[in-house]
Amino acid sequence: MHGAFTPLARSADRPDPLKLSSRGADLATALKVPEDTSDTVGQLCELYQDRISLLEPAIWDSECTESERVSAIQELSDALDVLEVEAIGVYLAGKRVSRADGIMFPSFCLLTHTLPTHFGWTEWTDEAIFYKRPRLHAWWELMQYKPPARKLAERIRQDVDALQIRWGVPVPTLARRTLPKHAV
C-alpha cells in the first residue's frame, strides 16, 4: 500500500448501514452461483475482504476525519487497480458468475453512486472509477444485465441517497496509480 492508512474495521462501533456484506451473499444466492472453491475465486474474495470492504466505512462514516477519508479512498483506488489486474474473464473469476461477483457487486454499487458525486471521481475524466480499469468496467456493465443485480443496484442507490452524505471531499488518485502495463 502507498499510504499509512489503517483500514477502518467494521465493528459494533462502526456499523454498516448499507449491509453490503449480507447483500453480497444474498446476491450470490439469487444469482444461483455454483459452489466454487477455485483459487481465483478465493483470492478475489480475500482481496475484497482485506483491501476493499475495510475501506468502505470511510465513505459513509461521518466520524472519519478528512485525512482518514482521503487516505482510505486513495487506498481504495489502489485496491481497485489490483482487482483490475486480478480479474480474468467476463466475470471477475472467469466465464461464469461466481461468489466473487456476488460479494463485490454491492460494493461497486456504493462506489459508483458515491465517488463521482461526493469525492470528485468525475465520469469520463482521468479520475473516473473505471479509468484504465476496462475489465472492471465491462464486468460492471455485464452484471447490470442480471435482474437481481440490477434491482440491488437501485436499492443501494436509494439507500446511499438516504444517508445524505455531506462530508465529501475531492480525492485525486491519478498521480498515485501505478498500473502494470498489461492492465492499461
Q: How far apart are CA 72 and CA 12, in angstroms?
A: 20
Q: How far apart are CA 59 and CA 95, in angstroms?
A: 31
Sign of the four-CA dihedral 157, 159, 161, 163: negative
Closest CA to 63 of 15, 112, 110: 15
Closest CA to 119 of 71, 156, 53, 152: 71
Q: Where are the chain's structural domains? A: 20-163
Q: How far apart are CA 157 and CA 112, in angstroms?
A: 9
Grid coordinates standing for 71? 487516505
Contact partners, residue 146, CB within 8 Å, separation at least 6: 31, 97
For 44-98, how does the pLDDT look when each residue is reduced to its tens digit (9 = 90+)? Answer: 999 999 999 999 999 988 888 999 999 999 999 999 999 999 999 999 999 999 9
CATH class of 20-163: mainly alpha
Return the pLDDT at 5. Answer: 44
Q: What is the pTM of this model?
A: 0.86
